[in-house]
Amino acid sequence: MTAKMTATREAVERVAREHLPGDVADTWIALLRPAARLKHALPGEPVVGQLGGLPTLDQTAVWPTWTDEGPLTFVASINCESLVSMGLDIALPQDGALAFFYFDGQYDDAQSLVIFEEPETLKGSRVLYIPADASAIPRPCPAGIEAYPRADLSAEMVATYPNFEHPALIEAFRLPGEDLRSFLAHPVNDDTFMETLGELDIGPVHQVGGYAHPVQGPVEYEVALATLGGKIARKHPRLEQEARKWKLLVQIDSDERVKMMWGDVGMLYWMMQPTDLMARAFEAASFTWQCS
Residues of the chain with pLDDT under 50: 1-5
Residues 6+ apart with CB under 8 A from 107: 69, 70, 71, 73, 144, 145
- Residue 289 and residue 114: Cα distance in Å, rounded? 8
* The one-letter amino acid at 64: P
pLDDT (tens digit, 9 = 90+) per residue, 186-216? Answer: 999 999 999 999 999 877 999 999 999 999 9
Residues in the chain: 292
CATH class of the domain at 9-290: mainly beta
- Residue 8 and residue 265: Cα distance in Å, rounded? 25
- Residue 90 and residue 272: Cα distance in Å, rounded? 10
- Residue 209 and residue 170: Cα distance in Å, rounded? 20
- Note the pTM of the prediction, 2 decimals: 0.95
Residues 6+ apart with CB under 8 A from 188: 20, 24, 28, 164, 169, 173
Domain boundaries, the chain: 9-290
- pLDDT of res. 170: 93
- pLDDT of res. 251: 98
In this structure, are residues 206 and 38 in contact, taking their beta carbons and an 8 Å threshold? Answer: yes
Residues 6+ apart with CB under 8 A from 267: 205, 213, 214, 215, 251, 252, 253, 254, 289, 290, 291
Neighbours of 259 (CB within 10 A): 11
Q: Which residues of 11-50 are buried (b: 16+ CB within 10 A; e: fewer)?
A: bbeebbeebbeeebbebbbebbbbbbbbbbbeeeeeebbb
- Residue 233 and residue 72: Cα distance in Å, rounded? 31
